[in-house]
Structure 1
Amino acid sequence: MSFFKKMAASVGIGSATVDTVLDYSQYRPGDTITGTVYVRGGNVEQTIDDIDLYVMSRYIMEKDDKKIYQTSPIASHRVVNGFIIFPKEVKEFPFAFPLPLDTPVTLGSVAIWIKTDIDIKNGVDAGDNDRIQVLPHPWMEKVLKAVQQVGFTLREADCEYAPFFRRRLPFVQEFEFSPSNRDYRGKLDEVEVVCHVEENGIEVALEIDRKARGVLGWLEETYSMDERLVRIYLNKTELNQDVNVLTQKFRAIINQHAR
């Protein structure tokens, strides 16, 4: 009987199972994620090599004019190294690790989840996925609010493959804004914002897409000359100012390219 149980466990029948329970489901980049991993023994004694947690997301990569979704780990955390789990035994492993500052915000189609990976020796590996909601970092939140106050509405937020930014991750999150007042309607198609939160400040990249006007406008749009990329860095002192001060700064930058 024991032999057949071991054979069944080796193909996942009656094997150990894992369940990760998070203390909270909502976080901001920089917060500490805490919770407990519960491992329940199956029908036979099994050796667990290790348990790892991964913060996962997905991004869009364009290939042959098609959009393909790719998944990517944002962070990893080793919960525990090897141990033995006996039949029907329950083990608990608490954990705590920081959510990276460059974690995307869960807006639009952007999803973030915690993937639990349990490596079972001579058996089928177990796993668990738990979605979390990621709110903007306070500095990013202030930047996005300032852009909206200039006269734009957030239309879309997604993660796109962008190796040219030379950042830790292969993608960046883009916030796409469309004009919401008459000052920019007819002048701009959109403004895309990319934020890189760091320990002492935030780098903001603004891609300002002018609306094509006449023959010259058509030529600019055809040859992608209508887009203007502006990068600025805001330190802690600037970010601690009233949001209206940031609004004026972004208004001046956008107006310069909306002429």
Structure 2
Amino acid sequence: MFKKLLSSIGIGAATVDTRLEESACVPGGTLNGVVHIKGGSTEQSVDRIYIFFNTLYKHEVNDKTTYSTFTIEKILLNEAPFMIGPEEVKEIPFTIDVPFNTPISVSQSKSWIETGLDIAQAVDPKDEDSILVKPNQAQQVVLDVLDDIGFRLKKADTEMLPARHRSGRLPIAQELEYSPNGTSYGRKLDELEVVMLQTESSLDLLIQVDKSVHNLGSLFADLTGTDESTHRLSYTNAELTSPERIRRDIEALIERSI
């Protein structure tokens, strides 16, 4: 009885450790691993095993910038409750899909897997594992084009996506901020902000052009925020095999904006 009481407050309770086959993944890909559960000093009932796909997003709280956890997806691993005996070890293999639009691991962007056991009348054990999210093939095409044009990634943040751009997607999106890197654009614009919104069959680019301040007229535009113009480019997966077209489209919209 005393052991059960201790387990209910987390002393001598079951523990969980998720072991990933590899920590790197890509949006739209899969992540494989095993949930390793070890019983404590007394028998306990594990009602549910959850895996949370988490990331950090930036937002304002009382006029101050802060970062909070956003759960991209919550995945239930077990069909029914089960008992775990004292010192007993159970291993539950899993394969989970990495959601499209999961932020790429650059700059301030961070994602991780959290595993939790739902144990009745007890402190729920949990485990966290960092993951490295690399660009998938379609995203890499866009990133290579931006690099080829002459833009350098300055920083990246994940923020809440305006409702008009969600369309069934995640309510968050990663914004990549680029600066001109020794090109002719350096005299005409301050930065390029790029958001990639992807599905299984397509990828949309939201591109915002922030013009440079070079005269009184453009200074006024900068102060009022009217120097920024946002464009949307949409591509099917087949069209994403043509970097030349994407480059022409991006260069054309920049020229129209400056």
Shorter-chain TM-score bucket reads over 0.9
The aligned counterpart of 2:136 is: 137
The aligned counterpart of 1:205 is: 206
Render the CA deviation track for 1:73-108: whole Å, top value 9, x for unaligned.
111211113111111110111111211112110111
Instruction: Using the TM superposition, give the Cα deviation of residue 213 of structure 1 relative to its aligned residue in structure 2, in angstroms.
Output: 2.4
Render the CA deviation track for 1:142-192: whole Å, top value 9, x for unaligned.
111112211211111111223333353332100100011241112100000
Structure 1 gaps, min length 5: none
The TM-score with structure 2 as length reference comes to 0.95
CA distance in 1, matches of 2:34, 2:43: 22
Instruction: Tell me if structure 1 keeps the 8 A contact 2:28–2:200.
Output: no
CA distance in 2, matches of 1:97, 1:214: 53
CA distance in 2, matches of 1:198, 1:173: 15
Instruction: Tell me if structure 1 keeps the 8 A contact 2:189–2:210.
Output: yes
Q: In angstroms, what is the RMSD of aligned CA positions?
A: 1.3
CA distance in 2, matches of 1:163, 1:32: 28
Q: Percent sequence identity over matched residues?
A: 36
Q: Does 1:116 pair with 2:110? A: no
Secondary structure of the residue that 2:41 maps to in structure 1?
A: coil
Structure 2 gaps, min length 5: none
Secondary structure of the residue that 1:15 maps to in structure 2?
A: coil
Matched ranges for 1:62-211 at <5 A:
62-80=60-78, 81-164=80-163, 165-167=165-167, 168-211=169-212
Secondary structure of the residue that 1:181 maps to in structure 2?
A: coil
Render the CA deviation track for 1:196-252: whole Å, top value 9, x for unaligned.
0112110001000001222211211111110010001011232112x2332222112
Question: Match for 2:22: what amino acid?
Answer: Y
Q: 4+ residue runs of structure 1 moved beyond 3 angstroms?
A: none
CA distance in 2, matches of 1:39, 1:211: 56
CA distance in 1, matches of 2:201, 2:183: 36
The aligned counterpart of 2:52 is: 54
Instruction: Tell me if structure 2 keeps the 8 A contact 1:150–1:250.
Output: no
The TM-score with structure 1 as length reference comes to 0.94
